[in-house]
Amino acid sequence: MNSPEQQLRELRRGAVDLVREEELLERLGRGRPLRVKCGFDPTAPDLHLGHVVILTKMRQFQDFGHEVIFLIGDFTGMIGDPSGRSKARPTLTEEKLKENAATYAEQVHRVLDPELTRVEFNSTWMNSLGAADLVRLAGKRTLARMLERDDFRKRFGEGNPIGLHEFMYPIAQGYDSVALEADVELGGTDQTFNLLLGRQIQAEHGQPSQIVLTLPLLEGTDGVQKMSKSLGNHIAIMDPPAEMYGKLMSVSDELMWRYLELLSLRSQSELDKLRADVEAGGNPRDAKMALAHELTARFHGARAANRAAEDFSRRHRRGETPADMPEVTIAGSDSGVPLGELVRRAGLAASNAEAMRLIAQGAVRLDGERVSDRAMVVPAGSSSVLQVGKRRFARVSIESASSA
């Protein structure tokens, strides 16, 4: 059994703000499980390691015996979180939000214990609030208070429009904490205003104010910008094992330590030992391999992580291709398939345009040879190893139209 002080030390790791630390320590000492909440709006079907920073902290609470609530913001998702935005988010339909939300449970249960995770949808209580209730909630806020938010204040100062519905987002998020009687709410640093407003709204409803714990926004594989699918610097939870392992091995040594601090479930003492070993002359590559194996195993299992490590070693130390690359059979004309189309149909590019760009950049290899001729046609009847970048492979066989 971990003491309250031991729990606080681990839970404090990687956090930016903890409001208030003495309140958390006092509640940890009460001997009852805390109710720990974090909300995710299903605005996209994929979760990446930037989201896993918070999920990892939720798992730490869970491992200490606390109740974790994974809140899917199907109601707030229809408003669109304005945090960090220079303009209003596009409004998503209820159907699209449900479609995206359906993918979340499988993904988050690769981090959180499914037996100990409570999944809630905030439409459950928000849809039942009447207009009068919403007016009362909004009536306790002032425009001046809402404009204390950096993004709102900046947009207002620049003359950019702010929809009235956007002011409802932090209010609705705060009411979620009332509905769930949350003891703790987690969020990124861009959520600080919303989380603190939740403390105020709980107090107005006669509840103890939740503890607020914020975590940093994780840099992407480039080590500079926030991890984002749109920037192409993300590592998705659903990335194939070899691709995930390879991306993690490609990050800088400096970024590796940040990933270990924010994403690893190892104890602080274990992380201290890893760093001490490197500072004593050990190879940082060993710590990076520990990171890559831990995260790949978390999302895909130990066996897949072992295979990914073997494939990485084979490719980068001995120049071989991975043993378990996907095999794809593609129907083409009697003359074959244009290279760009082949890259797309093999699942190594999202579109023909992206495939042509990759070819022009020299990122495409055929049987180990770099190919840069965008007009190239790969002949029917051939079977080749197609490679894009350092980590994406497929064995592609082309059937002619006459033999198909």
Distance between alpha carbon 392 and the CA centroid of its chain, in Å?
21
Domains, the chain, ranges and CATH?
Answer: 4-215 (3.40.50.620), 239-317 (1.10.240.10), 327-399 (3.10.290.10)
Asked if 45 contacts 103 with a C-beta cutoff of 8 angstroms, the reply is: yes
Q: Whose CA is closest to 120, among 79, 64, 160, 177?
A: 177
What pLDDT does 256 receive? 92
Model confidence at 101: pLDDT above 90: no
User: Where residue 81 falls among pLDDT bands split at 50, 70, 90?
Assistant: low
Asked if 217 contacts 69 with a C-beta cutoff of 8 angstroms, the reply is: no
Contacts 24+ apart (CB under 8 A), 131-134: 134/168
Average pLDDT of the chain is 85
What pLDDT does 238 receive? 87
Q: Whose CA is closest to 190, among 173, 165, 177?
A: 173
User: Where residue 318 falls among pLDDT bands split at 50, 70, 90?
Assistant: low
The tokens for 375 are: 């007009």
What pLDDT does 145 receive? 77
Non-local (6+) Cβ contacts of 110 within 8 A are 237, 298, 299
Instruction: Report which listed range, 70-74, 211-215, 223-227, 315-319, is most confident.
Output: 211-215
Across residues 360-383, what is the average pLDDT? 81
Q: Quick one: how many helices (H) and strands (E) in the chain?
A: 19, 13
The reply to whether the predicted model has a pTM over 0.75 is: no
What pLDDT does 277 receive? 92
What pLDDT does 401 receive? 61
The tokens for 337 are: 């398939």
What pLDDT does 49 receive? 93
49-80 pLDDT per residue, tens: 999 999 989 999 999 999 999 998 888 877 76
State the Cα torsion 223-226-231-236 to the nearest 10°: 90
Residues in the chain: 404
What pLDDT does 38 receive? 94
| More confident site: 41 or 36 | 36
Residue 93 sits at φ, ψ, to 5 deg, of: -75, 160
User: Where residue 16 falls among pLDDT bands split at 50, 70, 90?
Assistant: very high
What pLDDT does 376 receive? 84
Beta partners for residue 72, in sequence order: 40, 121
3-state secondary structure of 241: helix
Across residues 211-228, what is the average pLDDT? 89
Q: Whose CA is closest to 292, among 300, 393, 404?
A: 300
Across residues 151-157, what is the average pLDDT? 79
Q: Whose CA is closest to 345, among 283, 388, 310, 303?
A: 388
Residue 35 sits at φ, ψ, to 5 deg, of: -95, 110
- Per-residue 3-state assignment (H helix, E strand, C coil) for 37-68: EEEECCCCCCCEHHHHHHHHHHHHHHHCCCEE
What pLDDT does 86 receive? 44
Distance between alpha carbon 177 and the CA centroid of its chain, in Å?
23
User: Where residue 317 falls among pLDDT bands split at 50, 70, 90?
Assistant: low
